[in-house]
Structure 1
């Protein structure tokens, strides 16, 4: 299996999801407050898929 760099939009969405999860630990973000763990997991899974799937 060859890995490739994720596209910029996939990387950016992953970064935003993970940053929201971390920021919700320090401040109250209504959409993220109860689901911060899943936002972080989603960001990292998206980043992993961007590395595994070519051109994604």
Structure 2
């Protein structure tokens, strides 16, 4: 499960960087940031339990 969460974090990070690099895809950066934070929070909650 941790491997899946780490893989998702990497994917969201890549999407965020692509969104910032390609100016026309700024919305992709915003979505990537939101998904990265949500996945990190989910991983933190699951790890505690």
Unaligned runs of 5+ in 2: none
Using the size of structure 2 for normalisation, the TM-score is 0.64
Larger RCO, structure (CA 8 Å, separation 6 or more): 1
Q: Name the count of aligned residue pairs.
A: 46
Using the size of structure 1 for normalisation, the TM-score is 0.59
Moved over 2 A (4+): none
Unaligned runs of 5+ in 1: 1-5
Which has the larger share of helix?
A: 2
Name the larger-Rg structure: 1
